[in-house]
A and B are shown apart, each in its own frame.
Chain A
Amino acid sequence: MLPDITDKKLIELEEKAATIRDLIIEMLLTAKSGHTAGPIGMADIFSALYFYILNHKPEDPLWDGRDRLVLSNGHICPVRYAAMALSDYFPIDELKTLRKINSRLQGHPHRIAIDGLETTSGPLGEGISQSIGIALALKMDNKNNRVYCITSDGEHEEGCTWEAIMMGAKYRLDNLTVIIDRNNIQIDGFTEDVMPLDDLKKKYESFNWHVLEVNGHSIKEFIEAVAEAQTIHEKPQCIIAHTIPGFGVDFMENEALWHGKPPNSEEAKKAIKEINTMKNKIRSEY
């Protein structure tokens, strides 16, 4: 069970989220390719997961008692790499090698490259299936570890996502929580124009999942939703996290353009300033 979060801890997690955003901008600037808006939009959730929710040991990444965090939409991996580096899975300096030759930080995550990634992903719609396999195996072995699977909204256009959703309910995998990054954006534009997905909540409920909806930029709301999800028996849970792609950087927010493009150095400078001053709401940078 997750303890109630203190105000002090909350501020700490918000600061971690800002640092994660900074690191993402710096990584993408060096990499000169990759996805920007998605990773930045998920910084708050990754801060909450890595620094509050997950049972894990960065110094022993394959520790048997760890919770499994599966990243289905592998293209937002810069946010995961940043959170892992901040947790001491590997040196922060290594983030500069993202997408470079001979790097462990592949453009889309490769399980074999770094312990703790849990799966290899990128091709969309495959994370929930793998999470189900992991959740089934943990149950077979009577283990209490939890499985968290982060998915994009766009990948719910993949038919195999729904194959997996059916199976999760069939096997009553209450150790599995799917988190949807509901940012309404995908490569070709807004999800509701490309292929209408709503009402995702009703869809999941009709597939017999327990569904929660949160503001994906409220770390407190997200942590409370995870705490509730952990109390659900006999059903897998889905947390629809409403996020703003590029959140924290005005000129990136809600712009499909920023789905698959890195910033140049001018843009990066501007972005980091915005992040560090919480969009100029505070005077001194973190």
Chain B
Amino acid sequence: MLNKELYLNEDMFENPQMSATRDGYSSGLLNLAKIHNDVVVLTADLTESTRVEEFSKLYKDRFFECGVAEQNMAGVAAGLAVTGKTPYISSYATFSPGRNWEVIRTTIIYNRANVKIAGHHSGLMTAEDGATHQATEDIAILRCIPDITIIVPTDAIEARKATEKSYDIKGPVYLRFTRANTSIMTTDKTPFSVGKNQTFWIGNNPKVSIFATGFILYNALTAAKELQKEGIEVNVVNVSTIKESDTENIIKEASTTRAVVTAEDHQITGGLGGMISEVLSQNMPTPIEFVGMQNTFGESGSPDELLLKYHMDKDSIKEKVRKVIARKK
């Protein structure tokens, strides 16, 4: 059942509401801008689609249009940050942190510049644009760099909270957003803190822990609900902070259920699957099955078609749960 203590959206299965996490970013930024004069926003010719248009109109002097030049944008943000500003750089994740990865590594992260990197259009959900624009490696290429916080909000409400909380972290933060509208699972009252996993679905004597990051958590919750009817109880954990990982929670879950499934709209290598594997192989060796991009590029298609073809739908998660249970025996 849904965890009552988290004030989740009880209506999410019967009457799903949809919104895009990038819209949560927009609201979060506007809330921050009202309170903090040092918040500035930069974009590389993607004002509307990265949802900073309203900010650009309301705060003209704090908005910098860099043109199609993501490397320069990252360096400019580093300069602004070491001179007292808190820049948010907004582009697509394939370009930022993709194209400008080394500038981010050197001038932002190693340089400890207080810059927030908003990577939009992440994952297969970028859909019809095709593989060139579907960032499925962005978490991996940042996760291997020390001293950066990586947050993947699960829905638009959490995206707003994550954006707001990112300001309080005095150092580089990566925020990963999705273009498509996805299900709202949380409410304004749902607590959110960076670095803390939350068990959204609590099974009765659970046999498997499903760790999910981003919108795909909804598919995991739907899978949990259906599996319950088949007599299979699981826990579903929202991993919105990928780095630093909530190691304590991961070990606790694994020691309870002794079987794990991970789910992400990203390459399993270096992504959530990689992260959970690293934590558990060191601390609590546990059978794990992975849902996510299996070492392949995506392609054009509708979000639902792509999730089916690349096995990220609820049925694929259910299948992995059965598989990992079988491995326990």
- Number of A-B residue pairs at CB separation under 8 A: 104
**Contact A130 B76, CB 8 Å, known A118-B82, A137-B85, A140-B85:** yes
Interface-centre pick from A120, A125, A133, A166 (highest chain B CB count, 10 A) = A133
- Do the beta carbons of B85 and A164 come within 8 Å of each other? no
Instruction: State whether the Cβ of B117 lies closer than 8 Å to any Cβ in chain A.
Output: no
- Do the beta carbons of B69 and A134 come within 8 Å of each other? no
Q: Which residues on B sit within 8 Å (CB–CB) of A132?
A: 72, 75-76, 79
Interface residues of A in 83-98 (CB under 8 A from B): none
**Contact A126 B106, CB 8 Å, known A112-B111, A137-B83, A137-B85:** yes
- Do the beta carbons of B107 and A130 come within 8 Å of each other? yes
Q: Which residues on A sit within 8 Å (CB–CB) of B62?
A: 140
- Min Cβ gap B79→A in Å is 2
Interface residues of B in 57-72 (CB under 8 A from A): 61-62, 64, 66-67, 69, 71-72
- Among B40, B72, B78, B112, which residue has its beta carbon within 8 angstroms of that of A163? B72
- Among A134, A136, A137, A164, which residue has its beta carbon within 8 angstroms of that of B72? A164
Q: Which residue of the partner chain A has the closest CB to B85?
A: A137
- Do the beta carbons of B84 and A129 come within 8 Å of each other? no
Interface residues of A in 148-189 (CB under 8 A from B): 159-160, 163-164, 166-167, 171
- Do the beta carbons of B107 and A141 come within 8 Å of each other? no
1/0 per residue, CB under 8 A from B, across A103-131: the answer is 00000001110000011111101101111
Q: How large is the interface on B (under 10, 10 to 19, 20 to 34, 35 or more residues)?
A: 20 to 34
**Contact A137 B71, CB 8 Å, known A126-B103, A129-B79:** no
Instruction: State whether the Cβ of A138 lies closer than 8 Å to any Cβ in chain B.
Output: yes
Interface-centre pick from A131, A141, A163 (highest chain B CB count, 10 A) = A163
**Contact A136 B76, CB 8 Å, known A111-B111, A167-B67:** yes
Q: How large is the interface on A (under 10, 10 to 19, 20 to 34, 35 or more residues)?
A: 20 to 34
- Min Cβ gap B78→A in Å is 5
- Do the beta carbons of A137 and B75 come within 8 Å of each other? no
- Min Cβ gap B96→A in Å is 13
- Among B69, B75, B106, B112, which residue has its beta carbon within 8 angstroms of that of A133? B75
Q: Which residues on A sit within 8 Å (CB–CB) of B64?
A: 136, 171
Q: Which residues on A sit within 8 Å (CB–CB) of B188?
A: none
- Do the beta carbons of B67 and A123 come within 8 Å of each other? no
Q: Which residue of the partner chain A has the closest CB to B69?
A: A163
**Contact A163 B107, CB 8 Å, known A133-B77, A133-B80, A136-B79:** no
- Do the beta carbons of B76 and A133 come within 8 Å of each other? yes
Q: Which residues on A sit within 8 Å (CB–CB) of B77?
A: 133
Q: Which residues on B sit within 8 Å (CB–CB) of A140?
A: 40, 61-62, 85
- Min Cβ gap B36→A in Å is 13
Q: Which residue of the partner chain B has the closest CB to A108?
A: B106
- Min Cβ gap A162→B in Å is 9
1/0 per residue, CB under 8 A from A, across B103-114: the answer is 100110011100
Q: Which residue of the partner chain B has the closest CB to A131?
A: B79
**Contact A133 B111, CB 8 Å, known A163-B72, A166-B69:** no
Q: Which residue of the partner chain B has the closest CB to A70?
A: B79
Q: Which residues on A sit within 8 Å (CB–CB) of B40?
A: 140
Q: Which residues on B sit within 8 Å (CB–CB) of A110?
A: 110-111
- Min Cβ gap A149→B in Å is 10
Q: Which residue of the partner chain B has the closest CB to A136?
A: B80
- Do the beta carbons of B110 and A134 come within 8 Å of each other? no
Q: Which residues on A sit within 8 Å (CB–CB) of B221?
A: none
Instruction: State whether the Cβ of B74 lies closer than 8 Å to any Cβ in chain A.
Output: yes
- Do the beta carbons of B80 and A120 come within 8 Å of each other? no
- Min Cβ gap A156→B in Å is 14
**Contact A129 B74, CB 8 Å, known A112-B112, A120-B107, A160-B103:** yes
**Bound Cα distance A131, B75 (Å):** 8
Instruction: State whether the Cβ of B248 lies closer than 8 Å to any Cβ in chain A.
Output: no
**Bound Cα distance A134, B64 (Å):** 13
- Min Cβ gap B109→A in Å is 10
**Bound Cα distance A91, B323 (Å):** 65
Q: Which residue of the partner chain A has the closest CB to B81?
A: A133
Interchain residue pairs with CB less than 8 A apart (17): A111-B111, A111-B112, A112-B112, A120-B107, A125-B71, A129-B76, A130-B107, A133-B76, A133-B85, A134-B82, A136-B80, A137-B80, A137-B85, A140-B85, A160-B69, A163-B72, A167-B76
Q: Which residues of B contact A (CB under 8 A)?
A: 40, 61-62, 64, 66-67, 69, 71-85, 87, 102-103, 106-107, 110-112
Contacts A123-B102, A126-B71, A126-B103 known; 8 new A-B pairs at CB < 8 A: A126-B75, A133-B80, A136-B64, A136-B79, A137-B79, A140-B85, A160-B71, A160-B103
Closest 8 A-B residue pairs measured CB to CB? A133-B79, A129-B75, A137-B83, A163-B72, A163-B69, A160-B71, A130-B79, A120-B111
